[in-house]
Structure 1
């Protein structure tokens, strides 16, 4: 039964990544059909982000009341509903309406699964599971690309991914007993009867540090992913095709790096792997600073940044029960997820403003400053953890 549940969690992580790339891939066709400005995609993505933040902050309360299995199944079901809604939407109002369950479902399932894996599985599984997310995030745009070549167009892409989510929802409900069996053995004597408030969570030693550290990491990852192609075109003078292919290497680096990190996790601790990732990111950013116009330098820099990003997210999550105790892990992870979504929501647009007003050459400078903040906060967290021990 343990292995069946692990397979379900792997599938759930793939499912979690599937919808992430759909909006970006479909928007050029969607906006033309609905006669909308290009910038309106930001409205929809902002609603999704706000939904993920809200549901992440409520994840501790939901876990206590319903358990991980039910929250995961219902959340995936909400995502499926949102995808079906997108497939039949004909204007911006309906897209914004269905963006609400889209975000609420994603935030809950993300926090729930991350905490469950942190409590029940080793660090190698956390890395491999996030590798599965990368696979899902890569498959989603290919499904949409296939749909865009058909007469039905982009609605077919949302419909196909929605059907996959419905199938997974049914499988999750069928395996609820497996989740419930494990949850009955989870720290029954220490589990708080009431969900912690945000004030109580922030009062826990190290909570503020891990929140800002996670904010910085997700800000760096999302900024690098969204603006790499523009930087390569505007500063490195690469062609559109070259820039797109080179920028994709950043995500390849993350996905491959997490697969490798699963094996490294058998030998090294989470904190060691996080520091290794930060060093690799630093090397990648340093390469981008080199005054070299050759394409290979940009390729190497982005690949190193992607490889460096690979261990940080899963290792921070997996180390949470160790740093804050199993009884507080869901509350802390929920706040971490909210911090992550806040970083991905605010920081890439801020670089867009700076890049537009000053210049895209600031790209490595911006990444370096975020990296410095992340390193400082992580080292502060480790110091707090040592003092507590």
Structure 2
């Protein structure tokens, strides 16, 4: 039952990824249709991200009161309704209004499912959970490219995705009783595993879930920002998620506005970027059995730098597309790897609170950095895209290496 139930969880995370990539794919045509300024996509991104941050902050309370199943169901209803509204908006104002429930729903699903999988499944399932976010993020631009190419309608793309979300809502409604049952089964299995180890130290990532998170935990009094390396790891999350979101939101606009690619082709290329993240995370789940997270993170960062350099060059379209895919593949191991390293780097007692800090900084990066490039594109030129993305990636690499230096000398 627990393994089959993972399918429902993965489907839910797919639904989280689809809206994240659709706006960027549609925007080159969409902003003209609704007569919105080119840089307004950044404003919409900020609004959705603020909703995501707020829902993430209160998700713990909601999960305790309602349970993961109800939170996921309600959140998917919000995102389905918002996406359906996107298909019929007459102006930018309505897009801004609908971005609020879209962001709120996304934040609650993200926090709830990450918590549920971390608590009830083994570590590699976490990597694959984020892989399925990539499945959704890859699917979004493909759907949008199809409707823009065959029907010349970005609205049809949003209608199709809204229907997909509604189907998921029905599935979640019928599987609602399983959330608590599966959690109970998994917790019983974990207890048996602990007993079989006869009190020996656990060596899996799931051991972090045994940490006491009550208010009486001495770790709750620790100032996390004073722990060596924490400040730099927070900045790493900020620039990683900012870079990933900037490429997803503005990549299509760069190829259309600066390289003369058709909107349909540009949307398809952005889908390949998310496909690189998806496939990379699928492979990473297996590579973690043979390689350390730190090595995989560094390899990914260097690959992303190489992809950014390719985008800077006056290359034919096929090589430009390769640069975008290389950035996606490079990004694949970074986010789940950094999350996975948290207990090992900063202690299991601090891991739960620090996870929250890291996700908060990730959303801050998503909120601030893509709109920052939107201003550059609006007032200078969209051709600055590869320079800005490469700068974000290099800053991420710099801060990640500073964390390693701090830990070596701690």
96 and 384 in structure 1: CA distance in 2 versus 1, 3 angstrom threshold: same
CA shift in 2, pair 1:10/1:328, >3 Å: farther
- CA–CA distance in structure 2, aligned partners of residues 341 and 191 of structure 1: 23
The answer to whether residue 374 in structure 2 is matched with residue 333 in structure 1 is no
Matching of residue 174 in structure 1 with residue 196 in structure 2: no
Judged with a 3 Å threshold, the aligned counterparts in structure 2 of structure 1 residues 380 and 118 are, in CA distance, closer, same or farther, namely farther
Partner of 2:317: 295
Q: C-alpha distance in 2, partners of 1:175/1:385?
A: 42
Tell me the TM-score normalised to structure 2 length. 0.77
| Structure 2 segments unaligned to the other structure (5+ residues) | 192-207
Maintained 8 Å contact 2:71/2:108: yes
Separation in 2, partners of 1:33, 1:230:
15
Query: Matches of 2:288 and 2:6 in 1, distance apart?
Result: 18
* Worse-matched range after superposition: 153-162 or 315-324: 153-162
Deviations along 1:344-380, one digit per CA (max 9) or x if unpaired, are: 2221222233345444453333223222221122223
Unpaired runs of at least 5, structure 1 = none
After superposition, the C-alpha distances for 1:289-330 in whole angstroms (9 at most, x for unaligned) are 44x433343233222211101111222223334334455444
Residue in 2 aligned with 1:281? Answer: 304
Aligned residues: 387
1:1-389 → structure 2 map (5 Å cutoff): 1-23=1-23, 42-63=42-63, 68-83=68-83, 95-141=95-141, 149=151, 153=156, 156-157=159-160, 159-181=162-184, 182=186, 187=209, 190-193=212-215, 202-203=225-226, 205-233=228-256, 235-236=258-259, 238=261, 243-290=266-313, 292-326=314-348, 328-386=350-408
Instruction: Kindly state the Cα deviation for residue 10 of structure 1 after the two structures are TM-superposed.
Output: 1.6
User: Following the alignment from structure 1 to structure 2, what is the Cα–Cα distance between the partners of residues 236 and 92?
Assistant: 27
Note if contact 1:18-1:137 (Cα within 8 Å) is conserved in structure 2.
yes
Deviation larger for 299-308 or 89-98: 89-98
- The answer (yes or no) to whether the contact 1:59–1:331 under 8 Å persists in 2 is no
- Summarize the Cα distance change of 1:144–1:166 in structure 2 as closer, same or farther, 3 Å threshold: farther
Separation in structure 2 between the aligned mates of residue 348 and residue 303 of structure 1, nearest angstrom: 19
Deviations, residues 35-67 of structure 1 (Å, cap 9, x unaligned): 766665555443221110112233444455555
Choose 334-343 or 194-203, whichever is displaced more. Answer: 194-203
**Whole-Å separation in 2 of the counterparts to 1:165 and 1:17:** 13
Aligned-partner Cα distance in 2 for 1:174–1:259: 29
Q: SS state of the match for residue 268, structure 1?
A: coil
Distance in 1, Cα, partners of 2:71 & 2:59: 9
Instruction: State the distance in 2 between where 1:26 and 1:302 align.
Output: 18
Cα shift at 1:219: 1.4
Q: SS at the partner of 1:363? A: helix
Q: Distance in 2 between matches of 1:34 and 1:363?
A: 24
Partners of 1:198 and 1:362 lie apart in 2 by 45
DSSP-derived class of the 2:315 partner: coil
Instruction: Select between 299-308 and 21-30 the one with higher mean Cα deviation.
Output: 21-30
Query: Partners of 1:356 and 1:36 in 2: how far apart?
Result: 12
